[in-house]
Amino acid sequence: MRCIADTAPGPTVSVLPDSRPPVTLRGFLPSDVPFVASIVAEALKEHYDPSLYGSLSHEWPDGFLVAAESHDVPTGFLLGVSQVEREARILMFAVERHQRAQGIGALLMAAFLDRCRVRSFHRVTLEVRVSNATAIRFYTRNQFSVVDLLRAYYSDGENGYQMARELP
Ligand SMILES: CC(C)(COP(=O)(O)OP(=O)(O)OC[C@H]1O[C@@H](n2cnc3c(N)ncnc32)[C@H](O)[C@@H]1OP(=O)(O)O)[C@@H](O)C(=O)NCCC(=O)NCCS
C-alpha cells in the first residue's frame, strides 16, 4: 500500500493500494454506526447499544479512526479512549474479515499512534483474549508487550492479556 496523503493535521488520509481500490482513513461519522456495529458483531462477537459509538467518539473524536473503501463504506476501525492522564486505551479494533492481511490494520494503528503523539500521550494500552494469536502477533509487531494477565476478564470466562507500549 502506498500513502498518497499524510495524516496530521488534516482529517483524512487516502491510501492507494497498488492493485486494489483506495482505502481512506478518516474520523468516525454517525452514519458509520451500522457498518461499525456489523464489523464488531462479526469480528469481536459483541453487540453494543448503537449510541455507545457516538458518545465515545464525542469524548476524543481523533481517537476514533475509520478505514473506508469505495463509496465511503467502513471496512475497519480503531476506537481509542483516554481515561488515564497522558495514556490512551484501545477499546475496539477490527477489520472486516475479507479485508484483513492487506495492511489496513497497520494503517489504522500507525495513524492512531500519530494522534496519540499529537496529544503527548506517553503510553497506549489494550486488552486482548489470550486465545487471539493473530491480534497478539499484530500488536507485538507494533511494539506492544504483555504487561498483565487478566483472569476471567471476558464475559465467557476467558483470560485476557493487558498489553502496552510506550510512546517516544
Ligand atoms: C487484528 C486485526 C485488526 C489486524 O488487521 P489487518 O488489517 O489484518 O492487519 P494487517 O493487514 O496490517 O496485518 C495483519 C497481517 O497481514 C500481513 N500483511 C499486511 N499486508 C499484507 C499484504 N499486502 N500481503 C500479505 N500479508 C500482509 C501483516 O504482515 C500481518 O501479518 P502478521 O500479523 O503475521 O505479522 C484483524 O486481524 C482483525 O480485525 N481481527 C479480528 C478482531 C480482533 O481480534 N481485534 C483485536 C481485538 S483485541
Write the DSSP assignment of 95-163 as a string of letters.
Answer: E-GGG-SSSHHHHHHHHHHHHHHHTT--EEEEEEETT-HHHHHHHHHTT-EEEEEETT-STTS--EEEE
pLDDT band of residue 18 (cuts 50, 70, 90) is: low
pLDDT 10s digits, 98-144: 999 999 999 999 999 999 999 999 999 999 999 999 999 999 999 99
| C-beta of 93 in contact with ligand 1 (< 6 A) | yes
Question: Would the pTM count as exceeding 0.85?
Answer: yes
| C-beta of 136 in contact with ligand 1 (< 6 A) | no
Q: Is the pLDDT of residue 4 over 50?
A: no
Q: Is the pLDDT of residue 3 over 80?
A: no
**Mutation pick for ligand 1 pocket among 100, 112, 128, 136 (CB with most ligand atoms within 8 Å):** 100
Confidence (pLDDT) at 10? 45
Confidence (pLDDT) at 20? 64
Q: 75: CA distance to ligand 1 center in Å?
A: 13
**Mutation pick for ligand 1 pocket among 44, 134, 136, 163 (CB with most ligand atoms within 8 Å):** 134
How many angstroms separate the most distant Cα atoms in the chain?
44
pLDDT 10s digits, 32-87: 999 999 999 999 888 899 999 999 999 899 999 999 998 999 999 999 999 999 99
**Mutation pick for ligand 1 pocket among 44, 89, 91, 95 (CB with most ligand atoms within 8 Å):** 95
Q: 10: CA distance to ligand 1 center in Å?
A: 25
Confidence (pLDDT) at 17? 54
Query: Among 83, 103, 87, 92, which residue's Cα sits nearest to residue 41?
Result: 92
